[in-house]
Amino acid sequence: MTSALAATEKRSAPQMSELTPYEHGPALSDATLTDSSLALTWEDSTRTTLPLLWLRDHCACAQCRHPQTRERLYLPLDDIEQAPSVTLADGHLYLQWQDGHVSAFHSGWLYQRRPEATRFSALPAPQPWRDDFFPEGVRHADFLTPEGEKTWLTAMLRDGLALVTDAPLVEEEVSRLAERIGPQRATNFGGRFNVRSKPNPNNAAYTAVGLPLHIDLPNWQQPPDIQLLYCLQNDASGGESLFADGARVINALREQDPEALVILSETPIDFRFQDDTHDIAIKAPVITLDSQGELVEIRLNNWIRDTLHLPAEKMAAWYRAYKVLWQLFHSDAHQLEFTLKPGQMVAFDNRRVLHGRREFDPNSGARHLQGTYLDRDMLASRLRVLARTTA
């Protein structure tokens, strides 16, 4: 075992090709080779052991990481047959490998990324709605600031539902707000769509009928993640917005009828949308859970369910389970209702939060919403970027 030699020359701190801050953290006080690993100790007595192959793989020099894109260039396929020489200088780690290559590691970067460290995430954990839940709102003027946008993104990723209020009554503002976050997700209804009653509709949203709770486009391989609906006019009688949290309802279903949850999460059924120019279909379960039993997505949309292709002896059990889920979503205990006002934008996680509306009278006044979709990855990306400078 060999301890690191302390270098006497002054060096500039290593740069680690990272945009996320890593400079804060204690300096290294010792580095000792142990077989195929390096044992590190910091000045606050924190210790860790890192494999030499891991250290070689994470060299941040311009030969191993592209200096502009920060993408890895080194391919970790070669075994480390001979230990490197080890030097600590100004509390940072320097390794010279058998082939002469030198890797420099900032002490704060290593401290932040040691296996035992708690990984910081700028993203909030999803939280099922409480009994008294109402979506968090951010004023339009505040949304246009980094702090306000960060607040809104946090609420969206945590709750699956958030509002922008006091917004201008301007066409296409929904697209401008969306594109602060990322590119709009186009579907067979276009990149941006108008929700209002119109002749010859190809979707129930473009009528005045009431819409029971549903997700949009369950017939797609991956339904849109996030939907934004921007209210420009809402003078018609009726048309109240309805929402229900899939995470909350699935927890209730698990407690009330676990057999129904098993049936709906393990039985793929057919979904299909068809009109004169499109025929988009998929087979998938109504509920998808991860390995921990947590909700991944809901595909509940009674209009777009296709023929139920199941063995006859399984149909009665499926219909019973479907009824239980439907009644839970539409019960007062789980359904949230409010009127979307002109100058408000509601956004929701389309694969978690079901939405709908009450019937409205198109003869009583104008009702016009503009909508678009975003990928959840873009919300997460934007929040991580904002967290670099607003933490």
Q: Residue range 210-224: average pLDDT?
A: 95
Q: What is the pLDDT of residue 248?
A: 98
Per-residue confidence (pLDDT) for residue 66, from 0 to 100: 95
CA–CA gap between residue 8 and residue 267 (Å, rounded): 67
**How does the average pLDDT of the chain come out, rounded?**
93
**Residue 12, pLDDT score:** 87
Q: How far apart are CA 332 and CA 86, in angstroms?
A: 66
Instruction: Kindly tell me if the per-residue pLDDT of 2 is higher than 80.
Output: no
pLDDT tens track for 59-71: 999 999 999 999 9
* Secondary structure letter of residue 116 according to DSSP: T
How far apart are alpha carbons 105 and 87 in whole angstroms? 11
The residues, ordered by sequence, that sit 6+ positions from 145 with a Cβ below 8 Å of its Cβ are none
Task: Return the closest-CA partner of residue 381 out of 204, 140, 131, 157.
Answer: 157
Question: Distance of CA 324 to CAs 206, 262, 330, Å?
Answer: 29, 12, 10
Tokens linked to 352: 């978690």
| Rounded Cα distance, 203 and 213, in Å | 15
pLDDT for the residue 199:
45
State how far the Cα of 26 lies from the Cα of 176, in Å rounded to an integer.
Answer: 43
Mean pLDDT of the 220-229 span: 97
Residue 8: the pLDDT is 45
Please determine, for residue 3, whether its predicted confidence score (pLDDT) is greater than 70: no
Residue 11: predicted pLDDT: 76
Please tell me the predicted confidence (pLDDT) of residue 377: 98
The whole-model pTM stands at 0.89
Topology of domain 5-113 in CATH is NE0471 N-terminal domain-like (3.30.2020)
Q: Please, where in the chain does CATH 3.30.2020.30 lie? A: 5-113
- Tell me the β-bridge partners of 102: 96
- CA dist 104 and 96 (Å) reads 9
In degrees and rounded to multiples of 5, residue 383 shows phi and psi of: -70, -40
Give ranges for CATH 3.60.130.10 in the chain.
Answer: 136-390
Q: What is the pLDDT of residues 112-155, one digit of tens each?
A: 999 999 888 899 999 999 999 999 999 999 999 999 999 999 99
pLDDT band at residue 6, thresholds of 50, 70 and 90? low
Q: Where are the alpha helices (DSSP H) in the chain?
A: 52-57, 107-113, 140-143, 146-159, 173-181, 246-256, 258-266, 312-329, 376-390
- Kindly give the pairing relationship between strand 237-238 and strand 295-298: unpaired
**Hey, what are 315's tokens?**
């149909």
The side-by-side arrangement of strands in the sheet containing 226-234 is: 136-139, 161-165, 345-349, 226-234, 367-374, 192-195
**5 pLDDT more than 70:** no
Region at 200 (left for phi over 0; alpha for psi -120 to 50; beta for the rest): left
Which pLDDT tens digit goes with each residue over 16-53?
999 988 998 999 999 999 989 999 999 999 999 999 99
Q: Categorize the per-residue pLDDT at 203 as very low, low, confident or very high, splitting at 50, 70 and 90.
A: low
pLDDT confidence of residue 206: 59
Which band of pLDDT confidence, cut at 50, 70 and 90, is reported for residue 196? confident
pLDDT digits (tens, 9 = 90+) for 254-275: 999 999 999 999 999 999 999 9
Residue 172 has pLDDT above 90, yes or no: yes
C-alpha 370/C-alpha 350 separation (Å) is 16
Lowest-pLDDT range of 104-118, 308-322, 352-366: 352-366
Percent of the chain with pLDDT over 90: 83
Q: What is the pLDDT of residues 31-40, one digit of tens each?
A: 999 989 999 9
Give the integer Cα–Cα distance in Å for 198 and 12: 67
Query: Which residues, 6+ apart, have CB-to-CB distance to 85 below 8 Å?
Result: 95, 96
Cβ neighbours of 325 (radius 10 Å): 23
Residue-by-residue DSSP string for 94-149: EEE-TTS-EEEE-HHHHHHHSTTSPPP-SSPPP-PPPTT---EEEEHHHHTSHHHH
Q: Which two tokens stand for residue 183?
A: 């590119």
Would you state the CATH architecture of domain 136-390? 4-Layer Sandwich (3.60)
